[in-house]
Amino acid sequence: MTTEQQKIEVQKALQALKKGGLILYPTDTVWGIGCDATNAEAVQKIYKLKQRDDSQALICMVNNYGMLEKHVDNVPKMAYTILDVAIKPTTIIYDHPAGVAENLIAADNTLAIRVVKHKFCEQLIKYLGKPLVSTSANISSQPTPKSYKEISEHILKGVDYVVNLQNEKSASQPSAIIKLGNDGKVVVVRE
């Protein structure tokens, strides 16, 4: 992928996101369905597309620690240590999220956030200036697609824009998920 191609795709994806649309895009893990994490209507569209109960929280991504700190009331110091030593993409579930759509926040007032290290996603989030929802590109209870070719027609037709980077290599595995309470409790949800 050339830098020029990436810039064009970032702009096209941004247009869809700013209109409250859904995008299908490559991430640092698997192909994801995304939207502006501050737009409750867009978040609801994702639940509907995935046929997922909205009590099952979604992950969102930020592009740096500054954006993370803006959307979590108190980031535990342990989070930075975990993220600095993580070998694979790692999502952390934080207590007391802030500044995101209410329907993105779990019933226990937590939110799963990943600081992404993926050129396309970093650029997209930078220009959006907000966190980006990232959930696997499948209907709930169906297997997570390991590549673009495995994404169902239902998902492809249900988004407003498909990022034209189908040859983009991704890890093809979901991120690790760790729940990190402000009380210091650490729980590994998914390795």
When the pLDDT of each residue in the chain is averaged and rounded to a whole number, the result is: 90
pLDDT for 63 equals 95
pLDDT bucket at 172, cuts 50 / 70 / 90: low
The pTM for the full model equals 0.91
**Structural domain containing residue 158:** 3-190
pLDDT for 87 equals 87
Report how many domains make up the chain. 1
Question: How far apart, in whole angstroms, are the C-alpha atoms of residue 123 and residue 9?
Answer: 10
Question: How far apart, in whole angstroms, are the C-alpha atoms of residue 171 and residue 27?
Answer: 8
Q: What percent of the chain has pLDDT over 70?
A: 94
Question: How far apart, in whole angstroms, are the C-alpha atoms of residue 113 and residue 91?
Answer: 5
pLDDT digits (tens, 9 = 90+) for 76-97: 999 999 999 988 899 999 999 9
Residue 13: burial class (beta carbons within 10 Å; 0-12, 13-18, 19+): buried
pLDDT for 14 equals 95
CATH number at residue 171: 3.90.870.10
- The rounded Cα 2 to chain-centroid distance in angstroms is 23
Question: How far apart, in whole angstroms, are the C-alpha atoms of residue 111 and residue 189?
Answer: 13
pLDDT digits (tens, 9 = 90+) for 105-121: 999 999 999 999 889 99
Angle at 48 between CA 97 and CA 72, to 5 degrees: 5
